[in-house]
Structure 1
């Protein structure tokens, strides 16, 4: 995890009136881990989910809240700088997004420069995923003439890179300089390369590789221009918010810049606060302490949030730089930090409880018993499958597919939304075994659902396939009817159903009083051939979710 050095004299000026030994004692209670302690400094390790701790300014900000020197979210006025960023359409296929801000009146010393560089590199490695999602450029604004143009250039384009005394082409930078060799893979696959230049053609940066030497930041600089480029605009704005708060803490004035991109205008940074309503009972239950509304508000303000308590809820205003706050449970955690871990005491008076089998386990066990009794053999497959198996071979054209990011294998790239393709794969791997082959699987499938917190809904399905030379719709329907009747006392109804992987006229929709359950039918010959099967296949698949609490008494025993 990243480590930052906190110097005694510097921190005591930022957290006035608090001696260094008390600051050190408080650091672990803010979630920081002490790596090394000396008389004049302390090195602390912070969790990557708190990128606002990437400078001592961010740590001092939390300490001032913890010691009640400041309360609530920091307040600032964001004024326009008049600087414009012009985005050329050519960057869209290389590194499509840029954002920025202007920092005015910053008094730079060697330690402040080190803090800025440390913050920049920590954001590169963490939020930026080694500069692949974002890269930050910090420039001496006094030598820059707006407007700023973000465009692409050929590999023969040349300029003087940071800390070099000669011009180099882009191709030379990528092959000869350490940063070029380290990060060049991010842009090497393209014929052109992104650059940021001012109105005079002065090169500010070759993102995400290196800055230009002309805009190098020295202690003499008082105004900075910040650019952030990348592939995810929200991540760019998150990084700007964190940096903006640190520059304000350093005594500078942060000003906005205007982006002009494809005829649209946007102001960055966007420092809009997030408001979250959290039930008081939720906070007290998770903390295990019946806090009063005033105590919750006080704790949150010490954690540098604004909060207003109602009768049953607390309305929390989250400053923009707190990019780690995603869920009400995060607010509970901040309440604990503000309340003080040192005020909590262990409570050994608790009630013993007995575990019990969950409704899902009862259901799955009952389903397995009935399925085995009907002559089916159970198989288990992975939840991840391939595009080929789930869609191409099944003749399906679903637009909303749940694809895993950065999968290591195309065979395990998509969350399956049906069990049937996996069952057909099992048959394809057993074509030389004895027939008939009647198998089933009970497992979760995953479906897109915007109403869900994760955007994904899970359903528990039963899928089964019957394969031999006489496999038919009637055989599969008989097994399904027997299963539903024995397990849940349900008499299903059927109506014609057209599916691309079923033979027309030999597929049906299965329903009950609980609504739609699934399908049953004969698998289309094109699908059978695509999976390399030699016998006809009949199949059914039903959603078991409606039956979580309807397992028959006989099957529970």
Structure 2
């Protein structure tokens, strides 16, 4: 039952409908129209007789007198009539091309509305209205629930019995039935430390609960099983915007007052330790007269394995629907990229001394994305001779600047050189690098077959090290 403040309620209702559509449909392209997701209708319940049905009928089978009109229109005629209406013409395209139109009837086949275009004149709300029927039709059930809950909880403030809302049973053509609106309160527990850390203000739990109560969120103190202080928030159906602990923190900050939060200068930006180490290594290798190159992260499966005389070990991330053969997998080594660079610069004066520090990607079941990146360092010498001793010297220099001493016996605090049998290197002219008890890389003279695969005519020596393993 509506009270004497009904005029105020009507004005609020019209404003709330527009505001809800603008908020919920703010990401909908203008050409689709905001009513394409949710349409809201309010009716004089005393002029109608339940139950109500929501049907899809041919436009020629729908006849009713639309709101603010005096004669009856057929639905297809109504579409033509409103094409000159500045307010409604932007919504006509939503149903205009459909063979059937949505329509709401009561038990006497009185049309309530033709959503999302116009309500019927029969159930129009007036100053004599005592009971209001609110209906929401939508193509998105979640948004329909939000709109319905917001409308009924806010509108109920103007009822004779405040906040009295009568639920209805909605039965779908599948036979399933649901009760709407669903006004259940759900609970959310937020660590007090989370709120304090994000706000930058030290608050007691009692202060936080008091501030939340001012924001229509009933809150109380709680404790986790580990003894952590929590704020238990009872989120009402009118606060559909509270979805995450950050929303609770935001309400605390609003109630506290943004202007009351002390300003602090943010910490100065500095590089991540791995990136800082990478930059230092770049400088050091450049001082050893090596030129940096940057190669593609994506490569062909053949380059990553077959051209390096290696078998597929199922460690590579495979690209779905690649645009070409050069983008089939994510590289697991830097070697093929550097060899391609040399093969493309055969006419360049020798020796060629180049290096690259970049990421490789390996499948990793321990990661939530199924793969992990590793930062590798690779360098190559190409000339009249292989330059194996120069590459060996570069390995020693990198270890020296990293503060890793040489320990021939493989001590866990240093590094040593062991025999290896990698297929991309010449047998007996290669070595593995063991650092702190772990294998971190290899170096040696590149196998002639590998050089031939990349059209390289001069001998080369190559090293590749996982620098993350050195940290």
Deviation at 1:266, TM superposition (A): 0.6
Alignment of 1:273-292 (within 5 A): 273-292=185-204
Shift of 1:364: 9.0
Aligned counterparts of 1:210 and 1:548: Cα–Cα separation in 2: 67
Q: Is the 8 A contact 2:9 2:155 kept in 1?
A: no
- 1:365, CA displacement in angstroms? 8.0
Q: Paired residue for 2:262?
A: 346
Asked if 1:424 corresponds to 2:324, the answer is yes
Partner of 1:217: 125
Cα distance between partner residues in 1 of 2:220 and 2:209: 6
Contact 1:362-1:551 within 8 A present in 2 as well: no
Cα distance, 1:443 vs structure 2: 9.7
Contact 1:144/1:215, CA 8 A, preserved across alignment: yes
Structure with the bigger RCO (C-alpha within 8 Å, sep 6+) is 1
Distance in 1, Cα, partners of 2:467 & 2:109: 70
CA distance 1:117–1:356, change in 2 (3 Å): same
Say which of 4, 12, 15 aligns to 1:118: 15
Partner of 1:244: 152
How high is the TM-score relative to the length of structure 2?
0.59
Give, in whole Å, the separation in 2 of the partners of 1:375 and 1:419: 24
Give 1:325 shift.
1.1
- Note the 1:515-526 alignment, pairs <5 A: none
Query: 1:120-519 counterparts in 2 under 5 A?
Result: 120-128=17-25, 129=28, 130-156=34-60, 157-177=62-82, 178=85, 181-251=89-159, 252=162, 253-261=164-172, 262-311=174-223, 312-341=229-258, 344=260, 346=262, 353=267, 355-358=269-272, 361=275, 377-378=295-296, 419=319, 421-422=321-322, 424=324, 457=369, 489=439
CA separation in 2, counterparts of 1:301 and 1:211? 38
SS in 2 for 1:255: coil
Offset of 1:200 from its aligned partner? 0.6
| Contact 2:440 2:470 survives alignment (8 Å) | no
Which structure 1 residue ranges, 4+ long, deviate > 6 Å from structure 2? Answer: 362-370, 372-376, 425-428, 434-437, 440-445, 484-488
8 Å CA contact 1:140, 1:224 repeated in 2: yes
Q: CA deviation at 1:326?
A: 1.7
User: Which TM-score applies when normalising by structure 1?
Assistant: 0.50
Following the alignment from structure 2 to structure 1, what is the Cα–Cα distance between the partners of residues 12 and 278? 56
TM-superposed CA distance for 1:550, in Å, is 2.5
The Cα of 1:158 is off from its aligned counterpart by 2.0
CA distance in 2, matches of 1:131, 1:548: 56
Contact 2:5 2:158 in 1 (8 A): no
**Contact 2:46–2:131, Cα closer than 8 Å, also in 1:** yes
Distance 2:119 2:361 in 1: 49
Give a deviation string over 1:142-178, Cα, whole Å, max 9, x none: 1110000001110212221111111112222223213
SS of the residue 1:112 aligns to: helix
SS in 1 for 2:125: coil
1:112 shift after superposition: 2.5
Q: Is the 8 A contact 2:64 2:74 kept in 1?
A: yes
Please tell me the root mean square deviation across aligned C-alpha atoms, in Å.
4.7
- Structure 1: unaligned runs, 5 residues or longer: 1-103, 382-416, 429-433, 446-450, 463-476, 493-546
For the structure 1 residues 218 and 419, does the alpha-carbon distance in structure 2 shift closer, same or farther, using more than 3 Å as the test?
same
Structure-2 separation of matches of 1:222 and 1:334:
36
Q: CA deviation at 1:265?
A: 1.3
List gaps (5 residues or longer) in structure 2: 29-33, 224-228, 300-316, 329-340, 345-356, 375-422, 443-464
Is the contact made by 1:107 and 1:222 (CA closer than 8 Å) also made in structure 2?
no
| More displaced stretch, 321-330 vs 176-185 | 176-185
How many aligned residue pairs are there? 332
| Counterpart Cα distance in 2 of 1:150 and 1:333 | 40
Measure the CA separation in 1 of the matches of 2:67 and 2:209. 48
Indicate if the aligned counterparts of 2:134 and 2:152 stay in contact, CA closer than 8 A. no
